[in-house]
Structure 1
């Protein structure tokens, strides 16, 4: 008797057919691989290149919300990215766009984050004013198209991982230059204020940007980038609460004790127009989820399982609502590249916001965390100043080579910023100790 076939590969093959040779093109043409095993698709190769990138490995030692050294349970940037990738892949497959593209974009979405998360991004944005600023998403594009070592063009210039046009587009959350960026407002998922304008490309990376955006008019994000962005929002809204519960900072059975201060935080950080009654109704809806806990978390295996079931149910609730709304709006249209948009119901967006507010109020406003963030900002500012003073003597060999090729002070500053952004939390502390600790000032806390 013939075994039933898994329909997923057939579905993926059908989806792949919706993408053109333009979508699969690479900036530097590569010869076919001579392998015995079945050929991988271009989008599968993109995913593999991001998985094996040095920048991906470094995410394991970069702050998500709480530092990776604070606890062996909490998320770091790598585990967060893996979770975002899983959500993005499942949602993309359900919607009909390519799961490999969405997953790769999710795996890559935080590659450009410097040490200490958005806190570090704020420091580098200020330090890099003379060379065009700093933004984590623009830095991600720089890594993928220049800094990661994989492919060189005919002139000997690095083109990074040489990803396909469709994948690079999906990795671009903000497809515009700094000059076109809207003013920042609100806060990041880790609680730090949005002080950095959000943009997706530095001026000296515009040629690569223009190449993969060539068939696209305007600043519209492709649907795969929208899937990645929603998956990120869903993952950190749910998982930051989970981390806070396990860390003993959040008790989901006792949220009423924090009202209405919780709603004040939600309005200050995320939803200024939301009323107490509206937010209370949304929380009541979340509490109606069958796996919402009825007893405080106590660290037992049964309690851990209950918490994991809740996170799974919440992710399914949010993605299911978006899937239904999007497919209903699309009709017969296939959501590929710039055909169609993700539809996030207002109620679902507010449910995600309330969860983010719970973590913000009970975790991110803690006094000990605020003090640590100030010490981290001081450390990175001093590192940039010292590396700028030392030049290539303080840089890794690849960045020292970039320094030597730089034509002016602005280009040299960009090299320093690239170096500092590449560091993990731990290596930033170590480099500060080596280069800056002889200066008579207090050593920043670890």
Structure 2
């Protein structure tokens, strides 16, 4: 039996919920091109994202710990894959388009510079007066301009809905996206946004405990974690590796289950019957239950105070600031030290943006090596 694109599209339309984004209803691509005979447009987008240079670089970009801190800790790549897993689980239960969800999740962090959110803040500060820097906006630039893989256009020529999913992702800084991406996005995009927050909090807790920077007994300060440990029969004073894995797994499962239930309730209450109605609804429909949202916010506050501000973590942040600031100042003062292909972009985008794009594309270790070459 041969299953071609038309059959995939037909089966998808019959299977998905009314409010899901169907691939047959895509707004299409900026540049017309033939679709794959055996893949839907969103499956094609997913495959294109996987083969980008930007995606491969995520393996050597910081989540919380830099890549060289140890083989166990999350990198930006493993975080991305975990977001994909959470988002697909939620999307499947809600009857959403899993292929679109996966494509958005795979690309949601492509625009992150080296050294995680510290790198993003440093570049945004350095680019004040030159358009700023925000990782979602930069991800769009990667996918529409900076990745050059096809002779007829720059970027990957992805479908509107995947790019929209990045544009509507929660931003740390005002990104200034184009007006055509205004709105709350598809429910698939909203689920990815929520899944990012869930995966970030649960897995940063895991890394913090594994590193020893967070002590198990400290978890008793967070009432929901204390209660979850009690329910699972875990003693926070005798907390071993298996205990940690059980706690994090159950916490993640709790968030996913609550997200499915709350989002379904929001969708039913809103009465939306199409992806367009989801976009135009007054509020986001992907949500957690009040109890789960309270747990997430308490966990985030705990991580911010006890983990992200730990002296060991802050020391790496200061190193990142020093490296990126030094590289930016050196390259903007002496642009002749930039690679020729970067110098060639200066007349089109300006010196500061060309340098910023170059720095944002670096991995942690490449940035450190570049710094050592300039400042031996």
1:90-136 Cα deviation digits (max 9, x unpaired):
11111122111111111111111111111111111111123211111
Task: Answer yes or no: is 1:19 the counterpart of 2:22.
Answer: yes
Q: Is the 8 A contact 2:209 2:215 kept in 1?
A: yes
Partner of 2:109: 110
- Shift in Å at residue 358 of structure 1? 3.3
RMSD: 2.7
Task: Answer yes or no: is 1:198 the counterpart of 2:193.
Answer: no
Task: Answer yes or no: is 1:387 the counterpart of 2:331.
Answer: yes
Whole-Å separation in 1 of the counterparts to 2:27 and 2:245: 38
Aligned CA distance change for structure 1 residues 402 and 292 (closer, same or farther; 3 Å): farther
- Shift in Å at residue 24 of structure 1? 4.9
Task: List gaps (5 residues or longer) in structure 2.
Answer: 1-9
Q: Is the 8 A contact 2:114 2:364 kept in 1?
A: yes
- Shift in Å at residue 320 of structure 1? 1.1
Aligned CA distance change for structure 1 residues 55 and 43 (closer, same or farther; 3 Å): same
Whole-Å separation in 2 of the counterparts to 1:425 and 1:22: 40
Task: Answer yes or no: is 1:327 the counterpart of 2:264.
Answer: yes
Whole-Å separation in 1 of the counterparts to 2:110 and 2:90: 22
Whole-Å separation in 2 of the counterparts to 1:292 and 1:51: 39
Aligned CA distance change for structure 1 residues 200 and 229 (closer, same or farther; 3 Å): farther
Q: Is the 8 A contact 1:151 1:162 kept in 2?
A: no
Q: Is the 8 A contact 1:141 1:200 kept in 2?
A: no
**TM-score in terms of structure 1 length:** 0.73
Task: List gaps (5 residues or longer) in structure 1.
Answer: 1-8, 176-180, 182-195, 260-278, 439-446
Partner of 2:41: 42
Higher helix share: 2
User: Alignment partner of 2:118: what SS?
Assistant: helix
Whole-Å separation in 2 of the counterparts to 1:56 and 1:380: 21
Task: Answer yes or no: is 1:349 the counterpart of 2:293.
Answer: yes
Task: Answer yes or no: is 1:241 the counterpart of 2:205.
Answer: yes
Aligned CA distance change for structure 1 residues 18 and 246 (closer, same or farther; 3 Å): closer
**1:61-80 → structure 2 map (5 Å cutoff):** 61-80=60-79
Aligned CA distance change for structure 1 residues 32 and 98 (closer, same or farther; 3 Å): closer
Whole-Å separation in 1 of the counterparts to 2:100 and 2:340: 32
Whole-Å separation in 2 of the counterparts to 1:152 and 1:133: 30
Partner of 1:170: 165
Partner of 1:437: 375
Partner of 1:314: 251
1:60-114 Cα deviation digits (max 9, x unpaired):
1111011111111110100000000111111111112211111111111111111
Task: Answer yes or no: is 1:31 the counterpart of 2:37.
Answer: no
How many aligned positions are there? 358
**TM-score in terms of structure 2 length:** 0.86
Which region of structure 1 is more displaced relative to structure 2, 60-69 or 287-296?
Answer: 287-296
User: Alignment partner of 2:344: what SS?
Assistant: helix
- Shift in Å at residue 362 of structure 1? 2.9
Aligned CA distance change for structure 1 residues 313 and 146 (closer, same or farther; 3 Å): same
Aligned CA distance change for structure 1 residues 360 and 21 (closer, same or farther; 3 Å): same
Task: Answer yes or no: is 1:412 the counterpart of 2:376.
Answer: no
Aligned CA distance change for structure 1 residues 419 and 338 (closer, same or farther; 3 Å): farther
Whole-Å separation in 2 of the counterparts to 1:84 and 1:404: 38
